[in-house]
Structure 1
Amino acid sequence: MALVELARYSRNEAHIVVGRLEAEGIPAVAFDAGSSIADGSWLLIPVRVMVDEDDIAEARTIVAA
């Protein structure tokens, strides 16, 4: 299983996208979601939504819908 980046989102959007993909049966992970809250950088650093490379086409279709 090799993870590839689907897209980058704000922290909240990333978690919504991960939930949507998982509801459709596609495992997804939000990378960088744990960026430092203490210094406020979590507001500036986009969160990468990662999926298995075999699921990328279907994930793009789901997100585009």
Structure 2
Amino acid sequence: MSLVELARFDNRVEADLARLNLEAEGIDAVLFDTDMHGFGWGPIMPIRLMVLEEDLADARRLLPTL
């Protein structure tokens, strides 16, 4: 099992909302680079939403605007 990137966000609130929507549907998701984003690296280091590779298709279906 490996993690793959589903989306990138410049805003922590949007990233958390997407993560919570996935988790409400039973798909585990994690955010990477949230600490770097908080130090003002947002445009250079966006927040990455990660899911398990086997959940990627379902996650894309649930969040089609990403």
Coarse TM-score class (shorter-chain normalised)? 0.7 to 0.9
Paired residue for 2:35? 34
Paired residue for 1:8? 8
Instruction: Give the gaps of 5 or more residues in structure 1.
Output: none
Partner SS state of residue 6, structure 2: strand
Answer with 1 or 2: which has the greater Rg: 1
Conserved 8 A contact 2:37-2:46: no
State the superposition RMSD in angstroms. Answer: 1.6
Instruction: Give the gaps of 5 or more residues in structure 2.
Output: none
Paired residue for 1:21? 22
Paired residue for 2:52? 52
Misfit runs of 4+, over 2 Å: none
Distance 1:55 1:23 in 2: 14
Which amino acid in the other structure matches residue 22 of structure 1?
A: E
Which amino acid in the other structure matches residue 8 of structure 1?
A: R
Distance 1:20 1:59 in 2: 10
Partner SS state of residue 40, structure 1: helix
Q: What's the TM-score, normalizing by structure 1?
A: 0.84
Sequence identity (%): 48
Conserved 8 A contact 2:19-2:29: yes
| Equivalent pairs, count | 63
